[in-house]
Structures are given as C-alpha cells and as structure tokens.
Amino acid sequence: MCGGLFSRADLRLMELELMMTLGWMLNPPTIHSNVHHLVALVDSDARDRRSLVDRALKYADKAREDYAMLRYPPSLAAVAAVVCALRTLDAPFEETAKFVDRVNELELPYQLLPDAARSLQACGLRFLAEEEDIEEDREVSSIAPQDHPLLTGENDSENEHAPSPTDVFAAEPYEEGSPKKKQRVA
C-alpha cells in the first residue's frame, strides 16, 4: 500500500491517534439528523409531518450552502429550521409553542450559550430571509419575458452588446473605444 514504507501496525497506530485526537467523534450530529429527531416532538398527522420534514430539510440544505450558518450549532439550526417550517406551513401558534416547550425540556447543548435565544432568533430570521429571496426570484421569473435573448442565449446583431472589461467570453482583451464585436470562445 505505501511501498513498504509503513507497516500495518504503523497505519493502525496512526488511525488510533487520529480517532483519539477527534475524541472518537467520527460522525458528529448534523442539522439534518437533528431535524429528523426534533420533528418527532411536533403534534401532527403523518401527512403533515412529511411536509414539515421536507420544509425543515430545505432550510437545513440552505444552511449547508451559507458559510455564515457555521456560527450556529447544529442543534440550534435544526430547532430554527423546524420552527421556520412550522411558520411557513401556517401551523397554529399553539402547536409551535408546544414544540418549543418540548425542545426546552430536552436541554440541548446550544441552550447553554449565553445568548441562545438571540442566536435562535437570528438563525430563524436568516432562514426566512432566504425563503423570501426564493419567493421573490420565483415572482420575478414568472413575469420576466422568457424569450429575451440574454435568457435564451440567442444573440442577433440587434441585441449584440459590447463586451465589458471583465467579459470572460471575449476572445481578445477589451480595449476602451474599440468598435470590435464580441467573439465567443468555445
């Protein structure tokens, strides 16, 4: 395997040292795994629970894409994802309040943070802001002309535009005042 440089025993010792360094935490809890556990605390039927899980997991996916979400522990982000999912699915306030009470009884690690409530609120607001951005994008795309040349990739001479200095498709560097038309590089 290593060209005889290391023996099996050497590899096993390095593996053991690595696991001890990681504190044997080889599969730490994620937002996604926490969401699945937390949804069980919500009073709802199976059909509603499925839509709740789907919505909360969409928020968890968004957290994976947003570097700023790393400041929140997975348990906190999962609670925020479930609460936001309940909110966007128009769950009754009593159902959300009951869920939050049950979560508080669990004494999750994030609750030990000095500003846990504020962090939970900030995380939830971040999720909801992204949701509003998604809705706004859908609204804009529904009213935008779908046959516009910039959207379809078609460019005829009437719609041709001069390249910008940062145009990555320009074959030659753009020089200011140059009347050359843009050439696309394949």
The model's pLDDT over 11-53, given as tens digits with 9 standing for 90+, comes to 899 999 998 898 887 777 889 999 999 999 998 776 688 999 9
Name the token pair of 161. 């535009």
Q: Is residue 62 part of a domain?
A: yes
Q: Is the pLDDT of residue 59 over 90?
A: yes
Question: Which candidate, 105, 102, 104, places its Cα nearest to that of 43?
Answer: 102
Q: Domain range for residue 49?
A: 30-132
- Higher per-residue pLDDT: 155 or 116: 116
Positive/negative CA dihedral, 135, 69, 62, 167: positive
Note the pLDDT of residue 82.
95
State the pLDDT confidence band at 4, using cuts at 50, 70 and 90: confident
Domain total in the chain: 1
Q: Is residue 97 part of a domain?
A: yes
Note the pLDDT of residue 159.
46
Q: Is residue 96 part of a domain?
A: yes
Q: Is the pLDDT of residue 160 over 60?
A: no
Q: Is residue 184 part of a domain?
A: no
Q: Is residue 179 part of a domain?
A: no
pTM across the whole model: 0.61
Phi, psi of 184 (to 5 degrees): -90, 140
- Whether the CB-CB separation of 52 and 44 falls below 8 Å is answered with yes
Residue 114: CATH number of its domain: 1.10.472.10
Q: Is residue 6 part of a domain?
A: no
- Higher per-residue pLDDT: 139 or 27: 27
Q: Is residue 38 part of a domain?
A: yes
Q: Is residue 67 part of a domain?
A: yes
